[in-house]
Chains A and B, each alone.
Chain A
Amino acid sequence: MNALLPVLLVLSPLAPALISFALPARLAPWRNAANIGFALVKLALVVLLLQGVAGGAEYEWRAEFVPGLYLLLRVDALALLFVTLSTFLWLVTTVYAIAYFKDGPNLPRFFGFFNLCVMAATGIALSGSLITFFIFYELLTLSTWPLVVHKGDEKSMAAGRVYLGYTLAGSAALLLGIVWLESGTGPVKFDDATDLTAHSGDTLRLIFILMVGGLGAKAALIPLHGWLPQAMAAPAPVSALLHAVAVVKAGAFGIVRVIYDVYGIDIVAALGLGVPLAMLASATILYGSIRAVAQTDIKKRLAFSTVSQVSYIVLGASLVGPFAIIGGLVHLVHQGLMKITLFFGAGALAERLGITRIDQLDGVGRRMPITMAAFSVAALGMIGVPPVAGFVSKWYLGLGGLQSGEPWVIAVLAGSSLLNALYFLPLLYRAWLRPADALPSTDEMSADRPWMLILPAAVTAAAALGAGLLAGLSFSPLGWAILIGEDIYLP
């Protein structure tokens, strides 16, 4: 059973993927039922695993796919943090996507790749070795491309090309790094310390730069972030998943694995790599925020906000000390909850009122109160307003910066908070305080209330609020991140 669970978990999205590909478009209700059903099954599996891992159980599965090369799936606390997030958000995004697309074209293809993408993200989380990680990482690159270009128009295709350009180049760098590293160390597993003595310090530094550079292309570290704002051409549910869990998080998660489970944070620090990476992450945080300020398109602004916020995770991972890594890891979850809420909101605005630009937002709070309330909670959370979850991340990252002797980190956090306020508060101001003259009346709006488009945002916003309010619970994202942090620093 303990070997089976991780496999089932990875394969659980494969079934709805195949069903979606196979079923003709007219059987859409069956396809939708299969998608939601398997998402629920996966959630149940995750709950089972959470209980097991909290109780100290070990789950591992391996298969030799080339002589000497193992496919290794392993469930540790860090893997579960990512899997739980992706499973929960997959479920709500599925519900949302069904309402969003209604009966648009090419949906079998869409839901097929959508599920493959989720399978890849799950595989990335559960990978127990570098090579397994790389395989799923590539699967993710390939399975997200059809989603990015789903609309098939000129803009989407261009965005798709840019996306592939960045991510394939990144993958090449990552692969070279992996091969080079393993040429000296043998296959690298995440659960035991790698013996790096075969390589010189300079070689290790270069390999680190290759791997983090390759992963950084997905995590949108500057100057490798250019694809992300362009990928906004994708439909809203895709953007939501891309920004919250799938692609950017896979990159950030990979960086955490490289720092903590491939090199080890002490070696990263000793090689003098941690602080420069933290500085690069900080530069990305500020750069993304400054770029967000000048965007007039809602999704574009959110995209640059993602560039900025994902680097919080990298920042937390690159600083030595338990508080920093706890802050980084908990932000992996918190940013996901908040950002997906924002994209759900942006998608609902575009779908129901045709609003895509910020200057069209006047008065939408009156017409779409639940969506905009959820959007507001998430935006405040991004700024770091307590008690929404973003504040908890900031608190731990700030203390982590001080703990590792890098006090400038708190200035970066403060600057980011101020910039976030500068680009999010005007949206809330327009939505709630400006008159709704240009919008259809409340009665017209209430005639058609697509609940499946409204509720997902409310659920994720409530989760973001709950993650902050109940941060002290041992099963909260923070509680889980502390568990991981203690595991690293208090063996």
Chain B
Amino acid sequence: MTDPLLLLLPLSLALPLVLAGLSVLPGWRAHSLAVLPLAPLPALAAALLAPRGAEMVFPDLLLGMRLGLDPVGVYFLGGAALLWTLSGVYAARYMTGKDRPGGFALFWNLVLAGNLVVFLATDAVTFYVAFAQVSLMAYPLITHDRSARALKAGTVYIALAVVGETALLLGLMLGAAEAGNSLMIADIRSAIAGSDARGAILALLIAGFGIKAGLIPLHVWLPVAHPAAPTPASAVLSGAIVKAGIFGLIAFLPFAAGVTGWGLALAGLGFSGAVLAALYGTAQTNPKAVLAYSTVSQMGLLMGALGIALIAEAPPGPALFAAALYALHHGLAKGALFLGVGVMQTSAGAWRKAGLALLALAALSVAGLPLTGGALAKIALKGAAGGLAELIITASALTTALVLARFLAVLPKAEPDARPPLAMLVPMGALAFAALLLPAILFTGAAGEDLAYALSLSNLFAGVWPLALAALAVIIVLRLKPRAPALPEGDLLIPATALGQAVWRGLAHAAHRAGTSLSALPRRLVPKGSFLVPLSALMGRVETRLGTAPAIALLAALLVIALVWSGLAPD
């Protein structure tokens, strides 16, 4: 007899899917927004109540679907479910009166279902299916507005997502083959550690998950996609969806095996992203783009810590729990900040002051102000990382504080007397408070330390000095009012696109020179500048020149050879 509470796991998947199915029915479309907050509730209940470590097997689904909840996954599942619930309340209000509510609800629920199953899957195929669901079904959310900017952001996003999915699939196939064709994530993880193809597998997995989690230089979709998406969708993108990438790294990387090379690479890329992205973010003018860079920075920190854990030979337990706590806190706080953008659009007077205070508190928590939830998450992460990494994490609070100060400075203004709708204000406040308080409840369990440890003098000092420096910098900026630089969203994307286009053009030119007449080609229907067009045209010309006859002649020649051969053959 299975524990009835275990049924919460399949229910977590089933309810969003049912709601997704309903939202395409013409009669239901108008109501589909109102029920968005219900969809993640089974998952929330599962995070609180479902038994840990037990597994449910559905042999008929996919290649044998297995769902289970491990102690690290609980943090991700619970955090994501809470964020999705509150963002759902917000979305129900925010999206009312906008175009295509049914379409929004459909893809919201599909992404949600995938996002939750990423944290629940214990076999690689279910994991991959869920991960791909999140990646691809998020595209309609990002492009929901249909504005030119949203469509462009969507194109960047989908291109990276498809490449990421492909890399991930290759990595998982290689991993599964190394594990004797086992599909279990645990088997694959331990097989990777001792595999000959370890380097290739790790490269593919880190690329696949890194794209989702914003590992530089694969992060370029975040700063263009986050501002383009409707605000509640940005909140879950940044708060829950990028965490799917982090969770993927936690689930598949062979920790405790002393993987130096890729560990160093992950740590190096992660930590440099942590600093560079935050600095670049201070030069943004769109509040959601600022937050996107802050997310790249925070996830960089987290991946840096995971890189350190990959190098280490000690059991990874503490590092993974710390990472989970950090991800949980970041998801809630960042969710509050994103929702704040929409709230501030409709807040004036006292409402604005109260809202700003709340957002400032959430921002300080992300920067690790002592006594906030963020400080606890940071202490846990530092304790697990140690050494130089500890110093980097401490110092990164400075850049984090700066980028979030920039966020508060560029928040949108509202009409005088505007007051925010409760259905938008309450979710924002609830997320902010959850971010501030929840880590205090979870700290002992995740970090294995008393709360008192967090209050030790050295920890308080480590939390305060970067913020003091940041405050100093902010004061100087306010005094001197230097002209703020405005750098384009998407940083590396711009030179990368230019370079890419130049390379395509070069290849196209080469293919052209190889004997193709481009003029006859209806090029505009094909992705611009793709060298495949002239290449394909060349193939087409060869094919036409050869015509029908030679292919048949080839077969005829074969026949003649065969006949001659059979005449000469000794038998």
In the complex, chain B residues whose CB is within 8 Å of the CB of A25: none
In the bound complex, what is the Cα–Cα distance between A206 and B547 (angstroms)?
A: 25
Pick from B535, B543, B555, B571: contact of A173, CB under 8 Å: B555
Contact present for A472 and B63 (CB under 8 Å): yes
B5 at the interface (CB under 8 A from A): no
Closest Cβ of chain A to B524, distance in Å, is 7
A437 to B377, CA, bound (A): 52
Select A472's contact among B59, B174, B533, B562, beta carbons within 8 Å.
Answer: B59
Q: Contact partner of A226 among B63, B166, B551, CB < 8 A?
A: B551
Contact B555 A213 (CB under 8 A): yes
Bound-state CA distance A403–B178 (Å) is 10
Q: Point out the residue from B59, B65, B136, B561 that lies within 8 Å of A380, measured CB to CB.
A: B136
A29 to B326, CA, bound (A): 69
CB interface residues, A 336-385, toward B, < 8 Å: 357-359, 380, 383-385
Q: A290 and B559: CB pair below 8 A?
A: no
Q: How far is the CB of B393 from chain A (nearest CB, A)?
A: 36
Q: Contact check, A176 vs B563: say whether CB atoms are below 8 A apart.
A: yes
Partner-contacting stretch, out of B69-77, B125-133, B240-248: B125-133
Question: Residue A47 at the B interface, CB < 8 A?
Answer: no
Question: Is residue B558 contacting chain A, with contact meaning CB distance below 8 A?
Answer: yes
Q: Which residues of A contact B65 (CB under 8 A)?
A: 472
Residues of B within 8 A of A200 (CB): 569-571
CB of B536 within 8 A of chain A? Answer: yes
Write out the residue numbers on chain A whose beta carbons fall within 8 Å of the beta carbon of B53: none
B551 engages A224 (CB within 8 Å): yes
Contact check, B532 vs A223: say whether CB atoms are below 8 A apart: no
Query: In whole angstroms, how far apart are the Cα atoms of A407 and B176 in the complex?
Result: 13
Specify which chain B residues have a CB less than 8 angstroms from the CB of A108 in the assembled complex: none
| Cβ contact within 8 Å between B554 and A417 | no
Nearest Cβ on chain B to A6's Cβ, whole angstroms: 30
Nearest CB of B to A308, in Å: 12
User: Do most interface residues of chain B lie in helix, strand or loop, or is the interface mixed?
Assistant: helix
Judged by a CB distance under 8 angstroms, whether A150 is at the interface is no
Q: Which residue of A lies closest to B539 (CB)?
A: A291
A399 CA to B172 CA, complexed, in Å: 10
**Within the complex, what minimum Cβ distance (angstroms) separates A474 from chain B?**
9
Is A184 in the interface zone, CB < 8 Å from B?
yes
Question: Is A293 touching B146 in the complex (CB atoms < 8 A)?
Answer: no
Given contacts A294-B521, A387-B129, contact A176 B562 (CB under 8 A): yes
B453 within 8 A of A: no
Which of A93-101, A117-125, A164-172 lies on the face that meets chain B? A164-172
**Contact present for A172 and B559 (CB under 8 Å):** yes
Per-position contact with B for A403-447: 1 when CB-CB < 8 Å, else 0? 100010011001001110110011000001101000000000000
Known: A399-B173, A402-B177, A468-B62. A290 touches B136 (CB 8 A): no
CB-based contact A410/B62 at 8 Å: no
B532 touches A169 (CB 8 A): no
A166, A198, A293, A410: the one within 8 Å of B173 (CB): A410
B554 touches A223 (CB 8 A): yes
Given A395-B125, A433-B151, also A359-B565 (CB < 8 A):
no
Q: How far is the CA of A422 from the CA of B129 in the complex (A)?
A: 20
Kindly state whether residue A473 has any CB partner on chain B within 8 Å. yes
Binary A-proximity of B160-200 (CB < 8 A = 1, otherwise 0): 00110110011001101100010000000000000000000
* Chain B 543-571 interface 0/1 with A at a Cβ cutoff of 8 Å (1 = within): 10011110110111011011101100111
Contacting pair B173 A402 (CB below 8 A): yes
Nearest chain B CB to A385 CB, angstrom units: 6
> Which of A165, A387, A394, A473 neighbours the largest number of chain B CB atoms within 10 Å of its CB?
A387
Q: Which residues of A contact B181 (CB under 8 A)?
A: 323, 399, 403
The distance in angstroms between the C-alpha atoms of A185 and B143, with both chains bound, is 64
- Are B548 and A291 closer than 8 Å at their CB atoms? no
Contacts of A170 in B (CB 8 A): 555
CA distance A398 to B125 in the complex (A): 13
Whether a CB of chain A sits under 8 angstroms from the CB of B3 is no
In the complex, which residues of chain A have a beta carbon less than 8 angstroms from the beta carbon of B170?
398, 410-411, 414
Q: How far is the CA of A209 from the CA of B566 in the complex (A)?
A: 14
Q: How far is the CA of A391 from the CA of B561 in the complex (A)?
A: 41
Inter-subunit contact B536/A410 (CB<8 Å): no
Nearest A residue to B552 via CB reads A169
Residue A203, interface by CB 8 Å: yes
| Across-interface contacts of B151 in A (CB, < 8 A) | 433
- Cβ of A166 and Cβ of B539 under 8 Å apart? no
State how many angstroms separate the Cβ of B453 from the closest Cβ of chain A: 44
A426 touches B527 (CB 8 A): yes
Q: Does B409 contact A (CB under 8 A)?
A: no
Contact A180 B562 (CB under 8 A): yes
Total number of A-B contacts with CB less than 8 angstroms? 169
Instruction: Please measure, in the bound complex, the distance between the C-alpha atom of A287 and the C-alpha atom of B530, giving whole angstroms.
Output: 16
B450 contacts A by Cβ under 8 Å: no
Q: Which of A224, A383, A386, A473 is close to B555, meaning CB atoms less than 8 Å apart?
A: A224
Contact at B60–A293, with CB atoms within 8 Å? no
A199 at the B interface (CB under 8 A)? yes
Partner of B533, one of A180, A294, A380: A294
Please pick, from B61, B162, B522, B569, the residue contacting A418 in the complex, using a CB distance under 8 A: B162
Interface string of B296-311 (1 = CB under 8 A from A): 0000000000000000
Name which residue of chain B comes closest to A163, CB basis: B548
Q: Within the assembled complex, what's the spacing in Å between the Cα atoms of A95 and B571?
A: 54
- CB pair A213–B548 under 8 Å, yes or no, is no
Assuming the contacts A180-B566, A210-B562, asked whether A165 and B552 have C-beta atoms less than 8 A apart, the reply is yes
Enumerate chain B residues within 8 angstroms of A209, measured Cβ to Cβ: 558
- Nearest residue in A to B555 (C-beta to C-beta)? A169
Asked if B146 contacts A433 (CB within 8 A), the reply is: yes
A472 and B532 form a contact (CB under 8 A) = no
Known: A210-B559, A418-B163, A470-B60. A399 touches B176 (CB 8 A): yes
Verify B558–A213 contact, CB threshold 8 A. yes
Q: Does B457 contact A (CB under 8 A)?
A: no
Please state if A417 and B166 are interface contacts (CB–CB under 8 Å): yes
* Separation of A112 and B536 alpha carbons in the complex (Å): 38
Q: Does A392 contact B (CB under 8 A)?
A: yes
Q: Are B530 and A472 in contact (CB under 8 A)?
A: no
Selected from A203, A294, A426, the residue in CB contact (under 8 A) with B540 is A294
Q: Which of A165-192 contact B (CB under 8 A)?
A: 165-166, 169-170, 172-173, 176-177, 180, 184
Give B101-156 interface residues, CB cut-off 8 Å to A: 125, 128-129, 132-133, 136, 140, 143, 146, 151, 154
A227–B547 CA distance with the chains assembled, in angstroms: 10
A216 nearest in chain B by CB position: B555
**Interface 1/0s, chain A 289-333, versus B by CB < 8 A?**
011011010000000000000000000000000010000000000
CB pair A294–B543 under 8 Å, yes or no, is no
A214 at the interface (CB under 8 A from B): yes
Interface pair A293/B563, CB less than 8 Å apart: no
Q: Does B28 contact A (CB under 8 A)?
A: no
CB-CB nearest in chain B for A180? B566
Enumerate chain B residues within 8 angstroms of A478, measured Cβ to Cβ. 63
- Check: A19 CB closer than 8 A to any chain B CB: no
C-alpha gap A398/B548 in the complex (Å): 34
Chain B residues whose C-beta falls within 8 Å of the C-beta of A470 in the assembled complex: 60-61
B500 on interface, CB distance cutoff 8 Å: no
* Contacts A209-B558, A468-B62, A472-B58 given; does A291 touch B540 at CB 8 Å: yes
B537 interface residue per 8 A CB criterion: yes
B436 CB → nearest A CB, Å = 38
Task: Give which listed residue, A166, A294, A395, A469, contacts B551 with CB less than 8 A.
Answer: A166
- Contact A206–B562 (Cβ < 8 Å): yes
Beyond A166-B548, A323-B181, list 11 extra A-B contacts (CB 8 Å). Answer: A169-B551, A173-B559, A223-B554, A291-B536, A359-B524, A386-B132, A403-B177, A417-B169, A426-B526, A433-B151, A435-B146
10 nearest A-B residue pairs (beta carbon): A294-B536, A402-B177, A386-B129, A398-B173, A169-B555, A169-B552, A472-B60, A296-B525, A293-B532, A296-B522
Q: List 24 A-B contacts (CB under 8 A).
A: A162-B548, A165-B549, A172-B556, A176-B559, A176-B562, A206-B565, A213-B555, A213-B558, A224-B555, A294-B532, A296-B522, A296-B525, A386-B62, A386-B128, A387-B133, A398-B173, A417-B162, A426-B527, A433-B154, A470-B60, A470-B61, A471-B62, A472-B59, A472-B60
